[in-house]
Amino acid sequence: MAVPSLLFPPSEAPGTRDFAAEATLHRVRLAAMTARDRLAELDGVRVIGPEVSRGPDAGVRLAIDLRDTGRDAWDVACAMAARGFPLDAASNRVIIVRLREEDVLEGIHERVAPALLMALWATPGPTADPEPPALILA
């Protein structure tokens, strides 16, 4: 009995690799690592990810957890969007930022941490229950 061949016939060979797309994705991932490192320096901010998106405009998404800041992520996302910063999605505790090649060329990865810090400063924190006024006896 003959041993099956491990070579692919020419019609069944794996597709050619798109080296330009791989190089672009590598540059975007390096930019996402820069943004991740800068975000890690902010108190109470954690970055969950990055995740590579599989769409035609391959990019990297960073999920930014704001739970420990005491701020509502939706309010922070609105403050960032009001300043013209592009966001992908937001919930009450997490903001999603997508980095694409165009964003890297504009320097968004360098500006995400300062923009988030400004938005955190502009967003009111949790309010404690006010204490009842002191009773003054005269």
> How high does pLDDT run on average in the chain?
80
- What confidence tier does 99 reach under pLDDT thresholds 50, 70, 90? confident
Q: How far is CA 28 from the centre of its chain?
A: 12
Q: How many domains does the chain have?
A: 1
Q: Report the chain's C-alpha Rg in angstroms.
A: 23
Higher pLDDT, 48 or 50: 48
d(CA 27, CA 30): 5
SS3 of residue 97 by DSSP:
strand
Here the CATH number for the domain that contains residue 102 is 3.90.1150
Asked whether residue 60 is domain-assigned, the answer is: yes
- Asked if 52 and 58 count as a contact pair (C-beta separation under 8 A), the reply is yes
Asked whether residue 5 is domain-assigned, the answer is: no
pTM reported for the whole predicted model: 0.73
Tell me what pLDDT residue 61 has.
87
Helix intervals (H) in the chain: 19-40, 73-82, 101-106, 108-122
Asked whether residue 77 is domain-assigned, the answer is: yes
Tell me what pLDDT residue 38 has.
92
The whole-number average pLDDT for the span 105-115 is 89
Tell me what pLDDT residue 87 has.
87
Structural domain boundaries, residue 82: 44-124
Asked whether residue 101 is domain-assigned, the answer is: yes
